[in-house]
């Protein structure tokens, strides 16, 4: 049980309660996922937006069809902004692809934050708007998790291409769990699953090192100041964070081994994601033990 695992890692008292609460599996079950996934109503207006963009340009189409605060969207390189309806495993979803960093920030600020620049946007590579009436994804071509290509032994162009796919499938996985399992949270369980799907989709296999580099845990237990881990653990005490780091590193390595098993290689991406959703952080920590 979760409590015994946390205790074996040194948790007690308030830290134990923190971790037990944090690790609760938030995905709704049982779930029912249709064989054919229909597009949601919000997709149709995006098809009209795309048609307008082909005639009048993407900047005018976005300004005419999307709420964007008091000021119009103004792009540096509008010809490099592409919009498509992507057929994800969660169903069709509009995606805006942006290669210019300034244009990415401009569109995120205007469409997501209605003109107010959020703190830390320069470190952001993707944004998912998940409203009741409209849902869409905005993607940059920044290196995923701000990991330098050379850290992974890749050339810049190769890593840029892989980063785009990782980012796209990561966000589509959040869409899938939100749409069919009723939850998409800012925590490590969700991020492990979304990064797993992204990395696997991009390179055909899961690299635990890529995930850990993105979290700033690839040199664990050596302290690192970079990475996304603090984003998903801000509410935890320092002691709880240290225990969760141990869990996260082992989970990542477990998933790399599991992904290469005969069982896993026969599963679809959707079934792999569902397997990871069915198993909470401690289950994944114990996977294969």
Tell me the pLDDT tens digit for each residue of 81-123: 999 999 999 999 999 999 999 999 999 999 999 888 998 899 9
Q: Contact at 8 Å (CB) between 18 and 28?
A: no
- For strands 135-140 and 126-130, give the pairing: antiparallel
The beta-carbon contacts of 14-19 under 8 Å, at least 24 apart in sequence, are: 14/237, 15/237, 15/239, 15/240, 15/243, 18/236, 18/237, 18/240, 19/236, 19/240, 19/243, 19/244
Residues 180-227 have pLDDT tens digits of 999 999 999 999 999 999 999 999 999 999 999 999 999 999 999 899
- What pTM was estimated for this model as a whole? 0.96
């Amino acid at each position: 049980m979760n409590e015994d695992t946390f205790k074996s890692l040194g948790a007690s008292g308030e830290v134990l309660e923190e971790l037990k609460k944090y690790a609760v599996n938030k995905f709704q079950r049982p779930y029912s996922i249709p064989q054919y996934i229909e597009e949601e109503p919000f997709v149709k207006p995006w098809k009209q937006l795309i048609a307008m963009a082909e005639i009048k340009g993407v900047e005018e189409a976005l300004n005419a069809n999307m709420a964007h605060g008091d000021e119009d969207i103004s792009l540096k390189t509008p010809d490099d902004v592409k919009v498509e309806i992507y057929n994800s495993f969660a169903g069709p979803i509009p995606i805006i692809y942006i290669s210019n960093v300034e244009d990415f920030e401009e569109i995120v600020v205007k469409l997501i934050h209605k003109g107010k620049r959020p703190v830390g946007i320069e470190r952001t590579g993707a944004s998912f708007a998940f409203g009741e009436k409209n849902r869409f994804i905005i993607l940059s071509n920044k290196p995923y998790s701000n990991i330098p290509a050379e850290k992974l032994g890749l050339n810049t162009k190769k890593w840029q291409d892989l980063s785009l796919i990782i980012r796209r499938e990561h966000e589509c996985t959040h869409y899938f769990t939100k749409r069919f399992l009723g939850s998409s949270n800012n925590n490590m369980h969700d991020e492990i699953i979304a990064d797993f799907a992204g990395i696997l989709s991009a390179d055909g296999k899961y690299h635990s090192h890529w995930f850990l580099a993105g979290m700033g845990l690839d040199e664990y237990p050596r302290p690192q100041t970079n990475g996304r881990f603090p984003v998903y653990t801000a509410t935890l005490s320092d002691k709880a964070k240290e225990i969760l780091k141990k869990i996260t590193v082992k989970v990542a390595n477990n998933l790399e081994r599991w992904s290469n098993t005969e069982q896993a290689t026969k599963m679809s991406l959707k079934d792999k994601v569902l397997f990871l959703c069915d198993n909470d952080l401690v289950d994944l920590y114990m996977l294969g033990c």
